[in-house]
Structure 1
Amino acid sequence: MKFKLLAIALLISSFCAAQKEQFKFDFTSNKAQKGYTKIDSSNRYTAEKGYGYDLQSSSAGENKPFYFSVQVPDGNYKVTIRIGSKNKAGITTVRGESRRLFIENLATKKGEIVEVTFIINKRNSKISENENVKIKQREKKKLNWDDKLTIEFNGDAPLVESMTIQKVNNIPTVFLFGDSTVVDQDNEPWASWGQMITRFFDMNVCFANYAESGESANTFIAAGRLKKALSQMKAGDYIFVEFGHNDQKQKGPDKGPYTSYFNSLRTFITEAKARGAHPVLVTPTQRRSFNEQGKIMDTHGEYPNAMKKLAREENVPLIDLNAMTRTLYETWGVELSTKAFVHYPANTYPGQTQALADNTHFNPYGAYEISKCIIEGMKANKLDIVKYLKKDYKPFNPQKPDAIDSFHWNQSPFTEVEKPDGN
């Protein structure tokens, strides 16, 4: 009987934690502020408790990366963090879920506390009581698909005083649909523009990245990814759709740029418009495919043109990332462009016995630059959400990319040498 009562109590505790929509945590060594939950090194995450340090043994105050998770329902959350310390200087970077970048290299002096706020989307794979997204085996460990909202604190000397998390319902959401060039990559050294673009927008908009490696437009729909997003979508939201890399590999009588691809893209547009959301099409990013003259060779056939045709027919905005990345890669040139992709000699990362030379997938620097191309595409299309760009965003020109030496990235603790699905 005692065990049954304990099990019921744990279940109720877990349910309450999952339903709670506001949390306040105090990470200092002082007495907790009124209304805040005191957090020390012993506060490890458990499903029963619903919050705590997660994934690693490190905790706040140890001057190394740490993770903190909170069990919350699906939705958008306003996260407010007081960064800094009364006792020392620091440099703090904050990422969320599967390495979405929000706060970049924020320097604080001794005694300085800076309050920052951002909006983050959390979801799991449940569509309804009887239906789930058909996620892949390798996705089952992704932080994007679990029941927790996970915040990663990183940087040269990360410092956090307190954090509050509160559910918000009136924030426009930008849903990202795409493949491995868009997806939130969990592990170093892989990255995509969808997890970098979050850094440049303020607390008035939220990005929900539903992209996944290896997906084409039709398989994305078949897996229930679109259906899950539609269950969360509201009027005034946006969808950004970038496919083409994997679609072009499909063979068969009904497969091709003006058949299955075209029709699947139209499905995204139709479903978004039916809910009062704004569809935006994004042509597939170029591959790093130089010819002998140092020019990028087109490898996507008619797929970019098919998307452009549909954009004209449906009168929806189109961001020509295909064209912008051609300019960007040619500006870098054959050698320097490798610094934007996953090109690393053997033994750079644990378990990496062979050199990595991937000409499709970006590293963090490359993904950071591509995300700026997307933003310039938003501006060119006069999308309303550009009014939510942070004040420190500077106009970007693919003919004048940021110097790689100016990009400082503190790597997350987890690495993977296996290439993402898709090419």
Structure 2
Amino acid sequence: MKIQRDSLWVGLFLCISVAANAQNVAGSGKDSYHVRFDFGSGKVEKGFLPVTPVTLYSKVLGYGFLPEASVQAVSRGGKDALKSDFCTSDNPFFFTVDVPEGNYDVQVTLGDSEGESLTTVKAECRRLMIEKVQTQAGHFVTQTFTVNVRNRRIADTSEVKLKPRELSYLHWDNQLTLEFGNTLPKVCALEITHNKEAATVFLAGNSTVVDQDREPWAAWGQMIPAFFKSGRIAIANHAESGESASSFIKERRLEKILSLMKAGDYLFIEFAHNDQKQTGPNIGPFTSYKKDLKYFISETRKRGGSPVLVTSMHRRNFDSTGHIVNTLGNYPEAMRQVAREENVPLIDLNAMSKTLYEAWGPEKSLKAFVHYPAGSFPGQEKELKDNTHFSTYGAYEIAKCIVVGIKAAKLPIAQYLKENIPAFDPAKPDAVETWSLPLSPLVQVIKPDGN
């Protein structure tokens, strides 16, 4: 599990800069942060920090592999210091770096001069950044992606009210943590640069949006980063399991987002599953829920941001004819009303999910949700049957629906989607047999909050 750290990053960066090379870390402030790492046991490229299997994270060092990693170094020899060696493992491994809060461009070089490689890269809590990069012997791939890093502090005066389980998440700290996995991950080099120009797309929502930190749970918010080009967009997923629009405000999660928001940023807002469970005077879809949504919208606009409403996807609940039963009441319609009243772009995920689920049908849809027999995961003594939360396959398909919605709403950020994304029709979902994503090593068989 990630070691919790205090706010000594400034001193740590200075230590790294002095001890290693002034060219490595161009200053200690977040506006100038830039660091480069050369992985492997061979020659070290000038201007890069060496990383070998014994480079374990410590507060003094400020970077390194997390203790759970079982990493080997391979050196092929040769003149190219960066590409003549690499680090690899038979299991996913984590590398973490102390960085201030902000957006970062991460450039990774993958490959092997004498063998094949196949690498998938995730960031923080299993955010999918790079999918299945394959190289043949003697070939290398350098790819860049943009990651948001945050902590719980709000303008040094207050902080987000975190739930106990969040204290072990691989975010909410001044660290950038990367997970390298798949069948043949081979990491040659890594370069991290602070990005001051990227627009930030903040996500506010519940367990269907959150970066689920443990297998086998997943949500669309941790899949959507893989669909955007690097450098222009950073996804900042502030969603959390069990949240309603009102609790998101009370726990200062919205306040945290607003404290970071700049003109040109976005806030995607998806709530309903937990809101509908609230009771009391004036509590309901057309009263308290609409009021909360309008507060999100007005506060976002005050800061020059662009709000986007996302109706909640259905739960997996079929009638006898194979059609989806609406279990969300009037909450999706209330959000549609707010979109019209406030002239806010709407992604109607509720409508798309109905089409998607019915295209799967009752049986095939099981693969999109957390339905696994007993013993599928360590410590799992009972079968998992969850009709709200997604498997990685289901989360990825929902993320594709979000992409469809971004395009349909003609959001300006659509221009920053990757060009090679295949067209997607919720009525024709991808076959689950074609889906593969290596499991992360962290597993939890307890169902997330919310239903």
TM-score range, shorter chain: over 0.9
| Aligned equivalent of 1:79 | 106
Q: Deviations over 1:364-408 (max 9, x none)?
A: 000000000000001001111111111220111001101111111
Query: Quick one: which of 373, 383, 396 aligns to 1:345?
Result: 373
Deviating beyond 6 angstroms after TM superposition, the runs of 4 or more aligned structure 1 residues are: none
2:450 alignment partner AA: G
Q: How far off is 1:130 after superposition? A: 2.8
| Aligned equivalent of 1:153 | 180
Cα distance change on mapping 1:69 and 1:11 into 2, 3 Å? closer
- TM-score, structure 2 normalization: 0.90
1:135 alignment partner AA: L
Q: How far off is 1:11 after superposition? A: 8.3
8 Å Cα contact 2:10-2:29 kept in structure 1 = no
- TM-score, structure 1 normalization: 0.96
- Note the residue ranges of structure 1 that are not aligned, 5 or more in a row: 1-9
Q: How far off is 1:181 after superposition? A: 0.2
Q: How far off is 1:12 after superposition? A: 6.8
| Aligned equivalent of 1:14 | 12
- Note the residue ranges of structure 2 that are not aligned, 5 or more in a row: 1-7, 17-27, 72-86
8 Å Cα contact 1:19-1:72 kept in structure 2 = no
- Alignment of 1:123 onto 2:135: no
8 Å Cα contact 2:211-2:222 kept in structure 1 = yes
CA distance in 1, matches of 2:309, 2:9: 44
Q: How far off is 1:105 after superposition? A: 0.7
CA distance in 2, matches of 1:257, 1:142: 32
- Alignment of 1:69 onto 2:96: yes
Query: Quick one: which of 376, 381, 384 aligns to 2:404?
Result: 376
Q: Deviations over 1:211-247 (max 9, x none)?
A: 0000000100110111111111110111100000000
Q: How far off is 1:19 after superposition? A: 4.3
CA distance in 2, matches of 1:319, 1:168: 28
8 Å Cα contact 1:64-1:157 kept in structure 2 = no
| Aligned equivalent of 2:74 | none
Cα distance change on mapping 1:11 and 1:140 into 2, 3 Å? closer
CA distance in 1, matches of 2:66, 2:320: 49
CA distance in 2, matches of 1:115, 1:22: 17
| Aligned equivalent of 1:132 | 159
| Aligned equivalent of 2:189 | 162
CA distance in 1, matches of 2:252, 2:9: 29
| Aligned equivalent of 1:7 | none
CA distance in 1, matches of 2:373, 2:95: 33
| Aligned equivalent of 1:6 | none
Mapping of 1:22-421 within 5 angstroms? Answer: 22-59=34-71, 60-203=87-230, 204-421=232-449
CA distance in 2, matches of 1:36, 1:421: 43
Q: Secondary structure at the match of 2:357?
A: helix
Q: How far off is 1:30 after superposition? A: 2.0
Root-mean-square deviation over aligned CA pairs: 1.3
Identity between Structure 1 and Structure 2 (%): 51
2:441 alignment partner AA: P
| Aligned equivalent of 2:84 | none
1:193 alignment partner AA: W
Q: Secondary structure at the match of 1:252?
A: coil
Which is worse superposed, 388-397 or 241-250?
Answer: 388-397
Size of the alignment, in residue pairs?
414
Q: How far off is 1:15 after superposition? A: 6.0
Q: How far off is 1:162 after superposition? A: 0.1
Which is worse superposed, 27-36 or 186-195?
Answer: 27-36
Q: Deviations over 1:273-303 (max 9, x none)?
A: 1111111000011000001111100011110
Q: Secondary structure at the match of 1:333?
A: helix
1:264 alignment partner AA: D
1:104 alignment partner AA: E
Q: How far off is 1:259 after superposition? A: 1.6
Q: Secondary structure at the match of 1:253?
A: coil
CA distance in 2, matches of 1:254, 1:73: 42
| Aligned equivalent of 2:79 | none
Which is worse superposed, 20-29 or 91-100?
Answer: 20-29
Q: Secondary structure at the match of 2:300?
A: helix
